[in-house]
Structure 1
Amino acid sequence: MRAVHFTDTYLPRRDGVVTSLRTLAAALADAGNPGLIVVPRHPDQPAEPDVLRLRALPCGVADLRLSPWLLRGAAATGTIAEIAAHAPDVVHVHTPGPVGLLGVLTARRLGLPLVQTYHTDLHAYADAYRVPARALSAGVRLYARRLGVPRPAAAPAGHTRDHRPMASGAVARRRAAMDATNTLLLGGADAVVVPTRAVLDRIHLPVPTDRVHLVPTGVAARRTTARDINAFRYGHGIAPSDRVVLYVGRINREKGIGLLIAAFERILAGCPNARLVLVGALYEPRWLAGLLRTIDPRVAARIILTGQQTPEVVAAAYGAAEVFAFASRTDTQALVLQEAGLAGVPAVLVDRGLHQHGALAGAALCTDAEPGAFAAGVLRLLRDPDAARRQVAAATARCAQHTPARYAEAIREVYASAAGLTSRFNDRGRTRS
Structure 2
Amino acid sequence: MTAPTLLTPAATRPGGRAPSRALQIAHFSDTYLPRRDGVISSLHTLTEALTAAGHGCLTVVPRHRQQPAAPELLGLRALACGVADLRLLPWPTNAQVERVAAWGPDLIHVHTPGPVGLLGTLVARRLGLPIVHTYHTDLHAYVDAYRIPIAALRLLVRLYARRLGVTDPPRADGRTRHGVVDAVNGLLLTDADAVVVPTPAVLARAGLPVPQQRIFLVPAAVPERAGTAGPAAFRDRYGIAPTDRVVLFVGRVNREKGVDLLLPAFARILAAEPQARLVLVGAVYERRWLRRLIECSGVVGDRVVVTGQLPGGSVADAYAAADVLAFPSRTDTQGLVLQEAALAGVPSVLADPVLHRSGAIGETAVLADGSPAGFAAAVTRLLRDPAAARRQGAAARARAVRHTPQRYGAAMLDVYRHALARAGS
Q: Alignment partner of 1:205: what SS?
A: coil
Q: Distance in 2 between matches of 1:384 and 1:48?
A: 48
TM (normalized to structure 2)?
0.93
Q: Alignment partner of 1:217: what SS?
A: coil
Encode CA deviations 1:159-179: one digit per residue, 9 max, x unaligned.
xxxxxxxxxxx9x52111000
RMSD: 1.3
Q: Alignment partner of 1:11: what SS?
A: coil
Q: Alignment partner of 1:14: what SS?
A: coil
Query: 2:397 — aligned with what?
Result: 396
Q: Distance in 1 between matches of 2:343 and 2:167?
A: 47
Bigger Cα displacement from structure 2, 209-218 vs 288-297: 288-297
Q: Distance in 1 between matches of 2:163 and 2:235?
A: 51
Alignment partner for residue 81 of structure 1, among 92, 98, 102?
98
Q: Alignment partner of 1:179: what SS?
A: helix
Query: 2:260 — aligned with what?
Result: 258
Asked if the contact 1:141/1:151 (under 8 Å) is kept, the reply is no
Query: 1:292 — aligned with what?
Result: 294
Question: Is 1:51 equivalent to 2:54 in the alignment?
Answer: no
Q: Distance in 1 between matches of 2:176 and 2:91?
A: 26
Alignment partner for residue 40 of structure 1, among 39, 62, 65?
62
Query: 1:415 — aligned with what?
Result: 416
Query: 1:193 — aligned with what?
Result: 196
| CA-CA distance at 1:151 after TM superposition | 4.6
Asked if the contact 2:170/2:187 (under 8 Å) is kept, the reply is no
* 1:267-306 mapped onto 2 (5 Å cutoff): 267-296=269-298, 298=300, 300-306=301-307
* 1:21-420 mapped onto 2 (5 Å cutoff): 21-70=43-92, 76-155=93-172, 173-224=176-227, 227-296=229-298, 298=300, 300-420=301-421
After TM superposition, the runs of 4+ consecutive aligned structure 1 residues lying more than 4 A away are none
- Percent identity (aligned): 60
Encode CA deviations 1:151-204: one digit per residue, 9 max, x unaligned.
534347xxxxxxxxxxxxx9x521110000111111110000000011111111
Q: Distance in 2 between matches of 1:151 and 1:408?
A: 37
Q: Distance in 1 between matches of 2:299 and 2:172?
A: 48
Asked if the contact 2:170/2:186 (under 8 Å) is kept, the reply is no
Q: Distance in 1 between matches of 2:195 and 2:278?
A: 37
Q: Alignment partner of 1:407: what SS?
A: helix
Aligned length: 403
Q: Alignment partner of 2:247: what SS?
A: strand
Q: Distance in 1 between matches of 2:28 and 2:156?
A: 19
Encode CA deviations 1:224-254: one digit per residue, 9 max, x unaligned.
26x4222211110111111100000001100
| CA-CA distance at 1:119 after TM superposition | 0.3
Identify unmatched segments of 5+ residues in structure 2.
1-22
Identify unmatched segments of 5+ residues in structure 1.
71-75, 157-169, 425-433
| CA-CA distance at 1:115 after TM superposition | 0.2
The one-letter amino acid of 2:359's match is: G
TM (normalized to structure 1)?
0.91
| CA-CA distance at 1:205 after TM superposition | 0.3
| CA-CA distance at 1:124 after TM superposition | 0.8
| CA-CA distance at 1:416 after TM superposition | 0.7
Asked if the contact 1:151/1:180 (under 8 Å) is kept, the reply is no
Asked if the contact 2:25/2:109 (under 8 Å) is kept, the reply is yes
Q: Alignment partner of 2:133: what SS?
A: strand
